[in-house]
């Protein structure tokens, strides 16, 4: 009888230990995808004059309507306003790090409309709201969103940054397979410039 009780207790202890070990990564996984990590989920679409999060902070949320992930990165609109649904290069700046207050490995993340360097892999984000110059907020880098297009758009075709200019709208690549320049894939068609639904790929791309 004593041996039976001891065996049961030992089994419970082992199960408890395994549960404790397994629950740690499960909790961390949940935290990464949990919008409660934000002070307010409206912060994702509401830029502010005061900095609320460390620059470069990234968050992923679950899009229950499409059963997919949306990714965002926290930036500062560097010296100029950002237009809603337009695309911006997200890059770090060490030369003016002190200007932005919080540094990540001596660098800070900024959003710039400056013409990107051709061939250099860049992270591109879409402004989910209009930014006043030097305001802080999130750019979306992955998942379903609305993007501003400079050209006709065909559903299913891939989209890239307009080459060699400070044009912050995307353009239709007229290809149905991704390229090294592809930022997103169009989910709807449109004649002429304007806004369309798209799926952001969420990776660094080369700029033409």
Question: Are both 28 and 84 inside the same structural domain?
Answer: no
Is 145 within the bounds of a domain?
Answer: yes
* Structure tokens, 112: 């710039």
Is 169 within the bounds of a domain?
Answer: yes
pLDDT higher than 70, residue 136:
yes
Q: Which of 30-44, 53-67, 119-133 is predicted with the least confidence, judged by mean pLDDT? A: 30-44
Is 207 within the bounds of a domain?
Answer: no
User: If pLDDT is split at 50, 70 and 90, which confidence band does 70 have?
Assistant: very high
Query: In this structure, which long-range contacts are made by residues 43-46, counting pairs with CB atoms below 8 Å and at least 24 apart in sequence?
Result: 43/137, 43/138, 44/72, 44/128, 44/138, 45/128, 45/129, 45/138, 46/129, 46/137
Question: Are both 9 and 49 inside the same structural domain?
Answer: no
Question: Are both 22 and 51 inside the same structural domain?
Answer: no
Is 148 within the bounds of a domain?
Answer: yes
The three-state secondary structure class of 119 is coil
Question: Are both 82 and 170 inside the same structural domain?
Answer: yes
Question: Are both 21 and 53 inside the same structural domain?
Answer: no
Higher pLDDT, 21 or 75: 75
Q: How far apart are CA 112 and CA 162, in angstroms?
A: 14
Question: Are both 27 and 52 inside the same structural domain?
Answer: no
Question: Are both 93 and 152 inside the same structural domain?
Answer: yes
Is 133 within the bounds of a domain?
Answer: yes
44 secondary structure, DSSP code: G
Q: What's this model's pTM, rounded to 2 decimal places? A: 0.75
Question: Are both 28 and 116 inside the same structural domain?
Answer: no
Question: Are both 15 and 92 inside the same structural domain?
Answer: no
Question: Are both 6 and 95 inside the same structural domain?
Answer: no
Total number of domains constituting the chain: 2
Question: Are both 186 and 167 inside the same structural domain?
Answer: yes
Provide the 10 A C-beta neighbour count for residue 93.
Answer: 17
- Please state the rounded mean pLDDT for residues 69-98: 78
pLDDT digits (tens, 9 = 90+) for 144-157: 999 999 989 999 99
Is 123 within the bounds of a domain?
Answer: yes
| CB neighbour list of residue 157: distance below 8 Å, 6 or more residues apart | 172, 173, 174, 175, 176, 185, 186
Is 50 within the bounds of a domain?
Answer: yes
| Domain assignment of residue 29, given as a range | 2-33
Question: Are both 176 and 120 inside the same structural domain?
Answer: yes
Is 206 within the bounds of a domain?
Answer: no
């Amino acid at each position: 009888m004593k041996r039976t009780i001891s065996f049961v207790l030992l089994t419970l202890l082992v199960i408890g230990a395994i549960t404790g070990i397994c629950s740690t990564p499960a909790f961390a996984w949940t935290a990464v995808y949990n919008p409660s990590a934000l002070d307010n989920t409206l912060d994702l679409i509401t830029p502010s004059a005061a900095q609320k999060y460390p620059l470069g902070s990234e968050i992923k949320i679950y899009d229950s309507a499409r059963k997919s992930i949306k990714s965002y990165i926290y930036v500062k609109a560097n010296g100029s306003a950002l237009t809603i649904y337009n695309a911006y290069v997200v890059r770090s700046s060490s030369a003016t790090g002190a200007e932005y207050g919080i540094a990540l490995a001596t660098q800070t993340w900024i959003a710039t409309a400056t013409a990107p360097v051709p061939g250099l892999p860049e992270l591109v984000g879409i402004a989910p709201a209009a930014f006043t110059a030097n305001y802080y907020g999130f750019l979306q880098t992955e998942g379903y969103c609305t993007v501003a297009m400079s050209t006709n758009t065909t559903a299913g075709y891939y989209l890239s940054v307009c080459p060699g200019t400070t044009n912050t709208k995307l353009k239709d690549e007229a290809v149905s397979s991704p390229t090294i320049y592809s930022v997103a894939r169009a989910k709807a068609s449109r004649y002429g410039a304007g806004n369309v639904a798209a799926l952001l790929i969420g990776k660094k791309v080369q700029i033409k």
